[in-house]
């Protein structure tokens, strides 16, 4: 906080001029068009595409990945200040000064996202060919995955907030369809609806933010907002920032809108890997970093982001520590890791690039961990309870090895990917907001604990499976993508930081300022590793050296009980919103039937025989209706008169 | 065809066609359906031709105009003409009628009325509604406004569900009350025109051009507005709608809520604002409060419904709140958004009512609780129902998002607090649509659902074009907005309202 002003003065982005797309950059739209075509063909072809649907879906996203690589090379060839390319496709919505183009923007920020989405997306498509092999609706699964890829690409490639919104809810729709993919299970259907509704609370914020931009700045394109937001009233800018934060909380499952993510694990595991770990849930981080110019101008909004991130990184880690369901454990971990990204984004120009850096490494190693979990489930008849695992190391060597790499990456052991990215965040937080820095450090320790617990319960200790279980290694279609991701989890952190210079790459878009002072980097690294090792040792002693009970013990601390109940997120929502909401709804339905509509209908029903009832209805009719209509007119006129006094 | 005959032909063709269908011999139910469909398709073709003849860049406020003396003693003319606002509503109507006829192929079978009567009334209703949208003589507007009650009354009362008589009478009485208030205001307006012009007139342009005392304006405004608020329907005058829409056969519910009710919001925009600009501004804050109540209240009551058709009817109460909000926000985004909303709502409500109709016919019940697991046995029906539902909750990428967001943004620039409250509606919409979908379509297959057949070719053929329009207009709304915008600007000019300037430009002055 001490040197924020100095940072703002020097750390601002300097994207240079926006360049209109020509030549190779005409391919930007193709990036999205390919998976759109894949989804449309698969949905319209229906059962006819059963035999080839998965191949088409995979080919589509692979082609998109190739296009992304071509674009990446083309962007590298451009000078640093000419890497913001716009492609205007058509005028989308024009009413007076409200002008929304259907236009795409490729710049270093959206480029790394496009590579992550199509790269990790391709691997997960390939994995799913085998994982969903026995599902009669496999081609529909691939249709939805392609739809997701297209929407996610639109989200990160839109050149304005309104078009971003289309991708934003588009990925929400894909998420809804995929969480509820096994819709015959009521739990899956409920979880899908919950995810969408909670996200809509966030979208309320996104809607308001865009309206405020339009009313204040007269524009909502990134270029227009960045150019004019400095002239706006600072209170308004803060409100825009807070509204964007609300949106980001919904999409990224951050406190207080975190409750949907754990339930979202009802979806097939590749979905959890792609959507609910690597890409979609991190869109909130993208939104905040994309809006760097807005957050740079409002310290209040930035502190709110830091607060949300810090709370969630601890919450997620605590929840992850108590889950016996391997996927829910990983989901808690995802919340926590995105909390780190939010924390970084809230630090301003010292943190934006590291938020994205961690997002990228996390996208790789968390996808790996989820695919590993899927592989374990595949070999264990879809069992998710880690208390029924144990000693799988020997029967699933490859899965054990790659999961182990993911494990080392997420807990931040050098030289694995998570070490570089998480360490930068802890360092920047320590300098800017020491309290958040300490929380981030503690979080790293808890991460060490819950990941060790997961590793030990799954792969070590005694076998606790049912007699019928025959754990086996998965097919090469599944292990292949995991091995590729494992290579990424080893190399990506080092490569991006020291070979790719990710700060320099992103700086023109989001701004970058080195965090200085406070504490020596080496000391902090030593402290972090120390804390992680403590967490690892506690986890190992408890879950590898002692016997793990097959039934979760009931006599546990209040903290464990709370963590098992997701820190009572659902209960709070139920008490604050659901139950009062149901009550309100019931009351209003009653009021509408009995009071607004007049009492005549109900009373008639209670009286005597049919003929008598008919007679009463006939005679009561006109008078009663005249009366209620009159009452309605009176209310209407009264409100009109009252309103005009405002 | 000469331009002046388009509109009168659009009115006459369905009415004459309806009369033709009504005199077909007994026992020719199949023929009646085919003839009705054929005529509605001809009307569609005619409507498209009229749309092509319309020039959206033209300086003339009304085009394709035609006028004949009707009651010279009162200065009444049979005068027709369209601007962009009425044109898009006419196009929506001519598209929806064949869709309804095709989807409602079996709606009249086994009811107390005749099949040919059902389709005759639909066509006659179409002619009258097209006339309302095209009327540029306010007396003609009034007559058609009242006359269209008659076919609707019979469509509900003869062909509806168990409570059809009750619902039809309720609909009729409510509408009649509104009509009487409008008549009184119309007479007042006529008297004023005698004062100003020496001779009485009902000509729209002449009435708009009158200088009316502010207090008198308020009373006349209320006369028209309450009639339109009943039709729209606005809270607290909405309670006829759930009964009427639930009891009517599905295809008639679409015509009632999707087309007929639009006359209410169309009337506000066409008549209330330009004729009584001062009163409109005076009452605007109050109307906005009512619209907000409607948005939130309609959505909450929809959530609590147990009957699918009533549920959808209440979602419309909420959606009409958005339309009224946009109109009285008095900004170009608000009013263009509202006009587009009227069109989009027509399509999305059509898809919803028709699909619920297909479900109810198969299951023999419209109760939410009687469904469950439909997606397992009828995936095409479930898929189309989901798209229709997503359109109702205004998913970005679908047409309803464009109009809803324009309304909200256009409201925000003038009444930020109102826009914020209205935006809460998007959360409630997600709840009422997705909860309905969850309870009917997902979960284990329920006993009564097990043998349910998926949609047939005719049913898909009726719904698919509607959904295609919803998706296409989500990505390409501008061709329609280009028609609407100039007419909204015209209205804004007449009312004397200008868009608020962005705050930074404001402070820079």
Residue A88 φ/ψ region, left for φ over 0, alpha for ψ in the -120 to 50 degree band, beta for the rest: beta
Residues of chain A contacting residue B444, judged by C-beta atoms under 8 Å apart: 184, 186
User: Shortest CB distance from B336 goes to which of A95, A643, A646?
Assistant: A95
Helices first, then strands: H and E counts in chain B = 23, 2
Cα separation, A138 vs B481, in Å, equals: 40
* 3-class DSSP assignment, residue A160: strand
* pTM for the model: 0.92
pLDDT cut 90: percent of chain A above it? 60
- Expressed in percent and rounded to 5, the helix, strand and coil fractions of chain B are 75, 5, 20
* Phi, psi (rounded to 5 degrees) for A91: -75, 125
What pLDDT does A519 receive?
Answer: 76
Distance CA A103, CA A220 (A): 12
Q: Are strands A98-106 and B63-71 parallel, antiparallel or unpaired?
A: unpaired
Q: Which of B237, B430, B481 sits opposite A93 (nearest CB)?
A: B481
- More confident of the two residues B500 and A635: B500
Task: Count the neighbouring beta carbons within 10 Å of the beta carbon of residue A619.
Answer: 10
Nearest CA in chain A to B297: A588
Burial of A316 per CB tally in 10 Å (0-12, 13-18, 19+):
buried
pLDDT in tens, A584-613: 888 888 888 777 776 334 433 443 344 444
Q: Which two tokens stand for residue B125?
A: 């209703």
Residue A621 main-chain phi, psi, to 5 deg? -45, -75
Q: Do B481 and A94 touch (CB under 8 A)?
A: yes
Residue B27 is predicted with a pLDDT of: 79
φ/ψ of residue A94, rounded to 5 = -130, 115
d(CA B320, CA B287) in angstroms, rounded, equals: 12
Distance CA A58, CA A390 (A): 34
- Structure confidence at residue A605 (pLDDT): 43
pLDDT, greater one: B251 or A548? B251
- Looking at residue A275, the DSSP 8-state letter turns out to be I
Residue A289 reports pLDDT greater than 50: yes
B59 by DSSP, 3-state: which?
coil
Contacts B497 to A, Cβ<8 Å: none
DSSP 8-state assignment for residue A385 = B
* A225-264 tens-digit pLDDT: 999 999 999 999 999 999 999 999 999 999 899 989 999 9
Cβ-contact A492, A362 below 8 angstroms: no
Look at residues B124, B76, B84, B90 and name the one whose alpha carbon lies nearest to residue B6. Answer: B90
Average pLDDT over residues A619-632: 58
The rounded distance, in Å, linking the Cα atoms of B214 and A200 is 44
B259-306, pLDDT tens digit by residue?
999 999 999 999 999 999 999 999 999 999 999 999 999 999 999 999
Inspect the interface and report whether the beta carbons of A636 and B237 lie closer than 8 Å.
Answer: yes
CB contact under 8 A, B300 and A183: no
pLDDT in tens, A377-409: 988 888 888 888 888 888 899 999 999 999 999
- Test B502 with A96 for CB contact under 8 angstroms: no
Dihedral sign computed on CA atoms, order A266, A271, A273, A274: negative
Task: Give the mean model confidence (pLDDT) for residues A346-351.
Answer: 92
Q: B358 vs chain A: nearest CA distance in angstroms?
A: 21
Q: Which residue in A has a C-alpha nearest to residue B383's C-alpha?
A: A43
Contact (Cβ atoms closer than 8 angstroms) between residue B324 and residue B316? no
Whether B441 sits inside 8 A of A190 (CB atoms) is: no
Question: Is residue B148 a contact partner of residue B132, using CB atoms and an 8 Å limit?
Answer: yes
Q: Which residue has the higher pLDDT, B285 or A629?
A: B285
B chain contacts of residue A597, beta-carbon cutoff 8 Å: 239
Interface test with chain B among A43, A95, A260, A578, by most B beta carbons within 10 Å: A95
3-state secondary structure of B241: helix
Neighbours of B505 (CB within 10 A): 15
**CA-closest candidate to residue A425, choices A359, A363, A488, A491:** A359
pLDDT for residue A15:
57
Give the mutation candidate from A640, A645, A646 for the B interface (greatest B CB count, under 10 A): A640
Distance between CA atoms of residues B287 and B40, nearest Å:
37
3-class secondary-structure state, position B79: strand
Q: Do A636 and B475 touch (CB under 8 A)?
A: no
Q: What is the C-alpha separation between A399 and A474, in angstroms, rounded? A: 8
Q: Which chain A residues touch B438 with a CB distance below 8 Å?
A: 189-190, 192-193
Q: Please state at what angle helix A299-322 crosses helix A434-459, rounded to 10 degrees.
A: 20
Q: What pLDDT score does A629 carry?
A: 63
| Nearest chain A residue (CA) to B419 | A208
Q: Do B427 and A204 touch (CB under 8 A)?
A: yes
Choose the closest CB to B426 out of A176, A200, A592.
A200
The reported pLDDT for the residue numbered A80 is 85
The number of C-beta contacts closer than 8 angstroms across A and B is 217
Coil, helix or strand for A104? strand
Q: Which of the four pLDDT bands, split at 50, 70 and 90, describes residue A441?
A: very high
Contact yes or no for B337/B405 (Cβ under 8 A): yes
For residue A621, the chain B residues in CB contact (below 8 A) are 169, 173
Q: Do A159 and A221 touch, CB atoms closer than 8 A? A: yes
Helix residue ranges, H only, A11-131: 28-45, 53-77, 108-131
**ipTM here:** 0.94
Instruction: Tell me which residues of chain B have a pLDDT lower than 70.
Output: 1-2, 507-509
- Residue of chain B whose Cα is closest to the Cα of A181: B442
Q: Which tokens in the block code for residue A427?
A: 């360092």
What are the two backbone dihedrals, phi and then psi, of residue B256, each rounded to the nearest 5 degrees? -70, -55
Interface contact A95, partner B, CB < 8 A: yes
Instruction: Give the Cβ contact number of residue B146 at 10 Å.
Output: 19
């Amino acid at each position: 906080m001490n040197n924020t002003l100095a940072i703002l003065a020097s750390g601002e982005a300097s994207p240079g001029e926006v360049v209109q797309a020509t030549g190779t950059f005409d391919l930007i739209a193709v990036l999205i068009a390919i998976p759109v075509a894949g989804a449309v063909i698969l949905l319209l072809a229906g059962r006819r595409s059963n035999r080839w649907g998965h191949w088409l879906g995979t080919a589509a996203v692979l082609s998109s990945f190739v296009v992304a690589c071509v674009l990446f090379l083309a962007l590298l060839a451009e000078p640093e200040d000419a890497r913001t390319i716009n492609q205007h496709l058509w005028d989308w919505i024009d009413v007076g000064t409200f002008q929304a183009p259907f236009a795409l923007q490729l710049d270093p920020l959206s480029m790394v996202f496009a590579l992550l989405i199509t790269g990790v997306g391709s691997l997960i498509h390939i994995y799913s060919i085998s994982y969903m092999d026995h599902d009669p609706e496999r081609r529909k699964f691939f249709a939805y995955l392609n739809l997701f890829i297209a929407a996610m690409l639109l989200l990160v490639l839109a050149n304005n907030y309104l078009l971003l919104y289309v991708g934003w809810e588009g990925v929400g729709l894909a998420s809804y369809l995929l969480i509820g993919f096994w819709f015959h299970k009521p739990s899956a259907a409920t979880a899908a609806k919950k995810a969408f509704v909670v996200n809509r609370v966030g979208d309320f914020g996104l809607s308001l933010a865009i309206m405020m931009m339009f009313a204040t700045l007269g524009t909502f394109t990134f270029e227009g907002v960045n150019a004019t937001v400095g002239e706006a009233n600072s209170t308004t800018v803060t409100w825009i920032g807070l509204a964007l934060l609300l949106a980001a909380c919904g999409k990224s499952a951050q406190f207080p809108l975190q409750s949907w993510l754990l339930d979202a694990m009802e979806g097939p595991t590749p979905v959890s890997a792609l959507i609910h770990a690597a890409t979609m849930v991190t869109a909130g981080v993208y939104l905040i970093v994309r809006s760097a110019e807005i957050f740079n101008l409002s310290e209040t909004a930035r502190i709110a982001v830091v607060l949300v991130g810090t709370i969630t990184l601890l919450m997620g880690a605590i929840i992850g520590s108590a889950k016996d369901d391997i996927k829910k454990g990983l989901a808690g971990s995802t919340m926590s890791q995105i909390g780190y990204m939010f924390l970084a984004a809230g630090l301003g120009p010292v943190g934006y690039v590291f938020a994205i850096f961690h997002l990228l490494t996390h996208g790789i190693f968390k996808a790996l961990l989820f695919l590993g979990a899927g592989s374990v489930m595949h070999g264990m008849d879809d069992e998710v309870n880690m208390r029924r695992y144990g000693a799988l190391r020997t029967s699933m060597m490859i899965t054990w090895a790659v999961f182990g790499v993911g494990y080392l990456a997420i807990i931040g052991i050098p030289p694995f990917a998570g070490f570089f990215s998480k360490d930068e965040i802890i360092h920047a937080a320590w300098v800017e907001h020491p309290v958040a820095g300490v929380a981030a450090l503690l979080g790293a320790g808890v991460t060490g604990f819950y990941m060790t617990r997961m590793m030990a319960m799954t792969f070590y200790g005694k076998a606790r499976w049912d007699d019928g279980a025959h754990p086996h290694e998965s097919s090469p279609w599944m292990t292949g993508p995991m091995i590729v991701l494992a290579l990424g989890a080893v190399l990506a952190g080092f490569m991006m930081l020291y070979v790719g210079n990710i700060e320099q790459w992103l700086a023109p878009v989001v701004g970058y300022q080195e965090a200085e002072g406070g504490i020596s980097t080496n000391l902090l690294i030593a402290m972090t590793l120390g804390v992680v090792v403590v967490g690892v040792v506690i986890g190992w002693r408890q879950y590898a050296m002692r016997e793990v009970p097959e039934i979760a013990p009931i006599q546990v601390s209040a903290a464990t009980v709370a963590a098992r109940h997701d820190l009572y997120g659902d209960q709070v929502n139920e008490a604050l919103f659901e139950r009062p909401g149901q009550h309100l709804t019931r009351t209003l339905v009653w009021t509408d039937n009995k009071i607004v509509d007049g009492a005549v209908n109900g009373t008639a029903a209670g009286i005597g025989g049919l003929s008598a009832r008919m007679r009463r209805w006939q005679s009561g009719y006109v008078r009663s209706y005249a009366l209620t209509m009159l009452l309605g007119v009176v209310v209407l006129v009264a409100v009109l008169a009252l309103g005009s006094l405002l | 065809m000469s331009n002046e005959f388009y509109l009168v032909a659009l009115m006459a063709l369905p009415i004459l066609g309806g009369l033709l269908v009504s005199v077909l011999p007994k026992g020719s139910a199949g023929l009646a359906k085919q003839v009705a469909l054929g005529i509605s398709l001809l009307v569609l073709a005619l409507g498209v031709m009229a749309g092509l003849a319309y020039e959206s860049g033209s300086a003339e406020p009304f085009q394709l105009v035609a006028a004949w003396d009707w009651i010279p003693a009162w200065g009444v003319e049979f005068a027709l003409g369209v601007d962009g606002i009425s044109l898009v509503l006419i196009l929506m109507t001519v598209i929806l009628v064949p869709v309804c006829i095709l989807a409602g192929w079996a709606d009249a079978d086994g009811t107390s009325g005749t099949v040919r009567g059902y389709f005759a009334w639909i066509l006659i209703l179409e002619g009258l509604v097209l006339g309302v949208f095209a009327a540029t003589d306010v007396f003609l507007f009034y007559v058609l406004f009242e006359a269209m009650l008659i076919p609707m009354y019979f469509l509900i009362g003869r062909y509806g569900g168990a409570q059809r008589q009750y619902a039809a009478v309720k609909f009729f009485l409510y509408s009649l009350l509104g009509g009487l208030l409008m008549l009184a205001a119309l007479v007042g307006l006529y008297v004023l025109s005698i004062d100003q012009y020496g001779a009485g007139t009902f000509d729209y342009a002449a009435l708009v051009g009158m200088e009316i005392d502010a207090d008198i304006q308020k009373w006349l405004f209320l006369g028209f507005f309450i009639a339109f608020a009943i039709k729209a329907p606005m809270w607290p005058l909405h309670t006829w709608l759930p009964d009427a829409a639930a009891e009517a056969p599905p295809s008639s519910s679409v015509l009632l809520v999707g087309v007929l009710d639009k006359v209410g919001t169309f009337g506000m925009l066409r008549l209330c604002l330009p004729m009584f600009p001062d009163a409109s501004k005076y009452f605007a804050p109050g109307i906005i409060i009512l619209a907000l109540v409607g948005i939130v209240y309609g959505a909450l009551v929809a959530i609590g419904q147990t009957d699918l058709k009533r549920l959808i009817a209440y979602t419309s109460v909420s959606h009409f709140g958005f339309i009224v909000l946009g109109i009285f926000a008095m900004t170009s985004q608000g009013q263009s958004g509202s006009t587009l909303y009227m069109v989009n709502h027509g399509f999305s409500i059509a898809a919803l009512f028709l699909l619920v109709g297909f479900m109810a016919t198969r299951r023999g019940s419209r109760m939410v609780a009687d469904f469950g697991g439909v997606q397992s046995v009828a995936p095409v029906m479930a898929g189309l129902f989901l798209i229709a539902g997503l359109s109702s909750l205004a998913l970005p990428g679908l047409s309803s998002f464009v109009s809803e967001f324009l309304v909200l943004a256009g409201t925000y620039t003038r009444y930020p607090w109102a826009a914020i409250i209205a935006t809460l509606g998007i959360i409630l919409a997600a709840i009422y649509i997705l909860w309905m979908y969850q309870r009917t379509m997902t979960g284990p297959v329920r006993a009564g659902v097990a043998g349910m057949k998926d949609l047939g070719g005719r049913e898909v053929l009726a719904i698919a074009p509607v959904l295609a329009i919803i998706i296409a207009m989500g990505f390409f709304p501008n061709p329609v907005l280009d028609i609407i915008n100039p007419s909204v600007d015209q209205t804004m000019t007449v009312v004397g309202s200008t868009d608020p300037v962005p705050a930074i430009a404001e402070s820079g002055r």
